[in-house]
Amino acid sequence: MHFGAITLFGWISAATAIALPSYSNNIAKRQVAPTRIIHQFPDLTWVENIRIRQNGQFIVTLATAPEAYIIDPNIVSTNATSTSGVNLLHSFMPYNALLGITEVHPDQFFVVAGNFSVAIGDVGTGTYSIWSLDLRKYNPSSNTGIATKLISPFPNAGLLNGIDTLDASKNLIVIADSTKGYIWLLNVETGENRILLDLPELKPAPGSKISLGVNGLKVLHQGEIAYIYFSNDALSILARVPISLSTITQSGPVQILNNGTAIDDFALDPKNGVMYLAGQSTNTVLKLPLTGGSYETMANATSVLGPTDAAIGRTREQEGKVYVTTSGLLRTGGKVVEVDVGC
């Protein structure tokens, strides 16, 4: 989630005193990749996050309603606004919105629910909880067999945002707290939670009530080390920090991978050594090596107005494809867009 382009919030990223390395901030130019709209939601719908099931179906969350949808790309109509192949899985009323989503075990998803409100410009401090969205018994023909459960409330959190799985074997997920500048750790089996990371690189701009710090968050596993990749709106950085999976503690310094562009959420592609990022402030989908460097533009505002998240295709038919969600900047309905990155 990124507020910079939404004038309702009037949010402006502020400069900070944290020293940043001198990577080039130039976004490399190239012919944008082919794109295809999978589905477009009604006007004033902000599509916030996406995960892809093993069978290639998409699970998306909305920031303008507490709703999770399933989209079957093999059924959707050529008319992008048709509801064919699109079903509401669950409405998490009385919350206002859903944000991040992660899959810990096959078809066992977990979502952030809270009272974030675009309409009144309220980030919903103290209202967030993590819920399960269990699709192990899901029947697509009847859209039934969906189970939900409250896992843990977070009354001391600010704005819970991006989430990912840290260690599935231990049922651990990590959650970005954008307004307090923390990364929380949660055991989705027991509900036990604590602050895992409290670092300067995670913080929002000093003195601002609605500036966001840590925003998007994804985990890359390398043996006994898990790198938590994160974006920070206020600092306009993309960075990573290593976590020991044996001790569940920070095991090295923060590494700044790029700076100068505000990134919302993103997808890691370890097979190809790159990541794809939702540059909502620039209305672009960007490509970056996992080790950092300069961005390469893959798609622009023509097809991805207000990109919010990205996911790598999981089936053979989805090879070389990245799926991007958008807010439409609340000018048009948010979308799920296929970007053919060709690798």
Q: What is the DSSP track for 189-237?
A: TT--EEEEE--GGG---TT-SS---EEEEEEEEETTEEEEEEEETTTTE
The C-alpha atoms of residue 121 and residue 30 are separated, in whole angstroms, by: 36
Smallest CA-to-CA distance from 274 within 256, 259, 287 is with: 287
Residue 39 near residue 338, CB atoms below 8 Å: no
**Per-residue confidence (pLDDT) for residue 66, from 0 to 100:** 98
DSSP-assigned beta bridge partners for residue 250: 243
Compute the distance between CA of residue 113 and CA of residue 160 in angstroms, rounded to an integer.
Answer: 8
Tokens encoding 212: 């966001």
pLDDT at 121: 83
> What's the pLDDT at 3?
56
pLDDT of residue 201: 97
- Strands laid side by side in the 97-105 sheet: 97-105, 108-114, 128-134, 147-154
Residue for token pair 């043996």: 223
Per-residue pLDDT, 210:
59
CA–CA separation, 43 vs 231, rounded Å? 28
pLDDT score for 148:
98
Own/partner pairs, 3-10, CB within 8 angstroms, 24+ separation: 3/210, 3/212, 3/233, 4/233, 4/262, 4/280, 4/281, 5/280, 5/281, 5/283, 5/306, 5/329, 6/118, 6/327, 6/329, 6/330, 8/118, 8/121, 8/330, 9/121, 9/210, 10/210
pLDDT lower than 70: segments of the chain? 2-31, 208-210, 343
Residue count of the chain, please give it.
Answer: 343
pLDDT at 26: 45
CA-to-CA distance for 317 and 117, rounded, in angstroms?
A: 37
Q: How many CB atoms lie within 10 A of CB 77?
A: 12
Is the backbone peptide bond immediately before 270 cis, with ω within 30 degrees of 0? Answer: no
Type of residue at 338? E
